[in-house]
Amino acid sequence: MELRSLRYFIAVLEAGSLSRAAGALYVAQPALTAQIKKLEVELGTQLFERSHVGVTPTAAGLQLYQDARRLLSDASAMRERLQRAPDGPEGSVTVAVPFLLASLLLGPVLARLKQSHPRIRVFVIDDLSLMVRKAMVERRADIGLLVDTEYVNGLDVKPFAREAMFVCGHDADGKVAAMTVQPAGRKAAKGKAAAVQRPELPFARAAGLPLVLQSRRFSIRAQVERTAADLGLELNIVHEHDSARVIRSLYLAGAGFTFSPACAMGDASPGGKQWLVARVVQPDLARTYFLATPSAREPDPATQAVMDVLVDETRRMIASGRWEAEFLFGKRRTPATPGTAARP
Q: Is-contact 105 262, C-beta < 8 A?
A: no
- H/E element, 49: strand 48-51
Predicted local distance difference test score (pLDDT) of residue 272: 61
Per the prediction, the chain carries an average pLDDT of 86
Q: All domains of the chain, ordered by start, with CATH?
A: 3-84 (1.10.10.10), 91-340 (3.40.190.290)
Asked which of 80-84, 114-118, 173-177, 291-295 is least confident by mean pLDDT, the reply is 80-84
Q: In this structure, are residues 256 and 239 in contact, taking their beta carbons and an 8 Å threshold?
A: yes
For the cut 80, the answer to whether the pLDDT of residue 338 exceeds it is no
Helices (H), 58-147: 59-84, 99-116, 129-137
Q: Is the pTM of this model over 0.85?
A: no
137-176 confidence digits (pLDDT tens): 999 999 999 999 989 999 999 999 999 999 988 887 878 8
Amino acid at 124: V
Specify burial of residue 120 (Cβ count, 10 A radius: 0-12, 13-18, 19+). buried
Element (H, E) at 318: helix 301-320
Handedness of CA 221, 222, 228, 232 (dihedral sign): positive
pLDDT band at 195 (very low <50, low <70, confident <90, very high): low
**pLDDT one-digit tens code per residue, 232-272:** 999 999 999 888 788 888 878 888 898 989 888 765 555 66
Query: Taking a C-beta distance cutoff of 8 angstroms, is the pair 255, 163 a contact?
Result: no
Exposure letters 125-148 (e unless 16+ CB within 10 A, then b): bbbbbbbbbbbbbeeebbbbbbbb
